Structure formats: C-alpha cells, structure tokens
Amino acid sequence: MRVLVTGGAGFIGSAVVRQYIAETDATVINVDALTYAGNPESLGNARAHPRHVFEHVDITDRSALERVFREHRPDAVMHLAAESHVDRSIEGPAAFVETNVTGTHNLLEAARSYWSELEGEAQERFRFHHVSTDEVYGDLGPEGPAFTEETAYAPSSPYSASKAASDHLVRAWHRTYGLPVVITNCSNNYGPYQFPEKLIPLMLLNALDGSPLPVYGRGDNVRDWLYVEDHARALRHVLAQGASGRTYNIGGRCERTNLEVVHALCAVLDELVPDEQGRYARLIEFVTDRPGHDRRYAIDDTRLANELGWQPTESFESGLRKTVQWYLDNPEWVERVRSGAYREWIDANYARRGRAV
C-alpha cells in the first residue's frame, strides 16, 4: 500500500508516519511545507527509512501536488496538513483560509483528477481521508450531550471556521464527483513531539524553566483529551475500514478542564523532577481569556466503536505520564524546536495579556 500523508512532519502527521513505517509494510509519501510546526526530526527512525519518501511541497501549490500524484501513484490520501492554532488564527486568519480551505481544494482537485484515471480495483479501493477537528461543532454547555457526527456545525474561531469549510468541500466532492472520502473529527491531541505552543507542552516547558503557567480566564474550559498515538491508530483504522462518505468522531473519553490538566501535569512533574523552590502549581497565573473561547467540547465516539471496533488504549493519566517522560528524555529536540520565531510568538501572545482580574 502507498499512502500519501499531507502534514506528515507535523505533530499528528508524524505519529501516523512513524506508525505506518514501524507497524506495517506501507510506503508513505510525506508531503509537508515545513512551516514553523513541521519538523522532520519528529519522524524519528522513519525519516531515513526506505519506505518513507519526503516531498517538500505546500498544498497551496496545485501543480506540485499533481506532480506528486503522477510520480508516486498513491492508493490513498490522508490529509492532515493544516494551520491549527486558534490564537494564531485570531492574530492572522488569512493563512488559515489559504492553507485549510484553498489548500484542501487543491488537494481534492489533484486527487480527483488522479482517481478518475484509475481503473478497476485501484479506483475502487482509493480513499481520501480528511482529518478534521471537533471545534467545527462549536461549544457545549456544562451538561450538554457530546458531539455526534450529526451535530450541526457552529464554528467559533477563524481556525474552526476554516476547518468547517474544508469539511464541507470534502463532502461536496464526494456528493458531486463521487470521490471516495472518509472524514474524522478528533478531540484535543497531546503527546510526544507536540510543538510547544499547545497547552500541555507549553505548561510543561514553562514549569521546567520556572516560568509562569498562563491559564486563560478561570481555567474552566473543558476539552476531551486524546493521546496522539491512539489518534494515529484510529486514523489508520478508519482509512482501512471506514465506509466511503462516512464521518467518524474520534475521542479520548477524557474530559478535563484546562486547570485540571495543568494541575495534573504539575503533580507528575512534582513526582518526576521535584523543584527545590516548591510545587510547580505555584507558577499558575490566570490571564485574560481569548476572544470567543469555546467553553466545552466532548466527543461521542459510539459510531467508531460500534462500526469499526476502535477505542483508545491510554487513559489521560497514563498518556500524560508518557508525555512528560518523553519531554524529559528529549531535551535536544525541545531546544532545537525553541527557535527565535517560537519565542517571539509566545512573547507576543501572552506578554500583552496581563493577569486576569
């Protein structure tokens, strides 16, 4: 099998690539623009493997995508390339529209052209797997039922709106042109190799530096947390067994408030690397909330469990401990990722907020 993975040097994409190379006989064509969050070092041993082919291509470049399809002849596409950070989308929405909407359109058209020329079994088994987010559904009240695949879309941020648009494009290409697609919407991912602008690695690395742990508002926003290796296995499972035209929600079954996540992280650090200055939770600071911050996300993954037999293997506690240990064991990766651009972003995003009243 030959799988074209877009965004394969990113956080989730690199986990997918590592698993395909380590656990299957598949060849992976890895398409990535290597923006700030794309890091070839996240591919680990897969990077130099003979079944891993890297293409430094931006999905906004239609002609380059068409060349990749012609040269590598994939059996399936797993589309993960996206701008994905809500705060960045608030500061600069244009890049999110360009990558997530225009880029997805380009990939759909390149895939449709390629698929339409396939014959027989090759055409029947081809799949376009679009990887999306639970944020397209908007937010939930404290007691509201979890998102299902039938929940109406109500995106709140430029990021989630751009992902919602890309989801609609994928469904339209299936309905209008017959392109065989599957869509997955996942909850918050965490785990090794995550770029340190996201909540868990940001708090972890700040704590180790003795820096403040900036928590938005009162820290009562609720997310469902999914360990990235579980997510990667679910994605592979859906691509292999999902029904064409079907959407599947993927969750970790681990709802936590942001403040609970930070306290849990601090407790693990207290145990593994105690600080002589005191418990890490002393570093928590509440900062002004971001605009339009969704209160709660929750995933109902009944369809995925019942139809395809998938469920997560990691609890939040086990996944968090593995994540912390990985960052402690890989300081070289962390230091190389912490570029000047990263430091400038953290300063720009948090320094101007000040403490919440």
Query: Measured between alpha carbons, how far is 63 from 277 in angstroms, rounded to an integer?
Result: 56
Which of the following is catalytic: 20, 114, 137, 159?
Answer: 159
Does 190 qualify as catalytic in the annotation? Answer: no
* Closest listed residue to residue 107, CA positions, set 72, 62, 71, 73: 62
Burial of residue 48, with CB atoms counted within 10 A of its CB: 0-12 exposed, 13-18 middle, 19 or more buried: exposed
Ramachandran area for residue 73 (φ above 0: left; ψ -120 to 50: alpha; else beta): left
**Residues in contact with 309: Cβ distance below 8 Å, sequence separation at least 6, in sequence order:** none
Tokens matching residue 129: 């797997």
Cα 15 from Cα 20, distance rounded (Å): 9
Contact 62, 108 (CB under 8 A): no
Whether 75 is catalytic: no
What is the C-alpha to C-alpha distance for residues 297 and 49, in angstroms, rounded to an integer? 38
List b or e across 317-351, with b for residues whose CB sees 16 or more CB atoms inside 10 angstroms: eebbbebbeebeeeeebeeebeeeeeeebbeebbe
Instruction: List for the chain the helix, strand, coil content (%; round to 5).
Output: 50, 15, 35
The 10 Å Cβ neighbour count of residue 36 is: 15
Q: Which of 55, 134, 139, 294 is catalytic?
A: 134
Could you confirm whether 220 is annotated as catalytic?
no
Do β-strands 246-250 and 181-186 pair in parallel, antiparallel, or remain unpaired? parallel
Which of 135, 139, 255, 301 is catalytic? The answer is 135
Residues forming the active site: 134-135, 159
